[in-house]
Homo-oligomer: A and B are copies of this chain.
Amino acid sequence: MSDKSTRDHIVEAADQLFYHNGFEHTSFSDIADAVKISRGNFYYYFKTKDDILEAVIDVRLAKTRAMLDQWERDGRTPAERIRSFIHILITNRADIKQYGCPVGTLNAELAKLDHGSRPEAAALFMLFRNWLCKQFALLGRKRDADALAMHVLAMSQGVATLANTFQDDRFIQREVQQMDDWLALIADGEVPTSRPARVN
């Protein structure tokens, strides 16, 4: 289809604007301006703002799945793969400082709007949660794998929120270091199952 390119450009621009400025704060004009098309043309592709949000979430889901698959292939051990997740805080630190975590901030905004696409946005978190859960199970923590996954997710969310508020690079570095150390202990079987993911 020859319309694929324009549609993709719209979704791409919307994705970025939603992340940088928030879903509600982004207008059709903002998106149309970014893609350099008219508002009328915009409506040829998306009839409502909710339609484009759905499309953006779909793209994010696909991109996330691809990223997790990549980590799966690249990491030789479960610990190494979990480390890939933890280290996106470093890789994306510039964006995180400015705009927070794209997944966390979208879910927070949609919760306040009581938006119909909340479940789809939560599914974005679920991808990470299930993937991490699988890795912890492979590490021999079958019984508390999900709790450990949620703990790692919570840590990274908290770090993203505070890094965004305080604009602090060193804080990210420090917390990632601690998560790495913690993960090494888990991988060595030094953290008891009875107290999963207890912070030391």
Question: Residues of A with Cβ closer than 8 Å to B?
Answer: 20-22, 24-25, 98-100, 104-105, 107-109, 111-114, 121-122, 125, 147, 150-151, 153-159, 161-162, 164-166, 171, 174-175, 178-179, 181-182, 185, 191, 195-200
Contacts and interface: CB of A to CB of B under 8 A. Distances in A.
Given A20-B112, A154-B158, A154-B175, 9 more contacts: A21-B114, A22-B112, A22-B113, A25-B113, A153-B162, A178-B195, A178-B196, A181-B195, A185-B200
A interface majority secondary structure:
helix
A20 B200 CA distance: 34
B165 A25 contact: no
A16 B182 CA distance: 39
A175 B150 CA distance: 9
A2 to B, nearest CB: 34
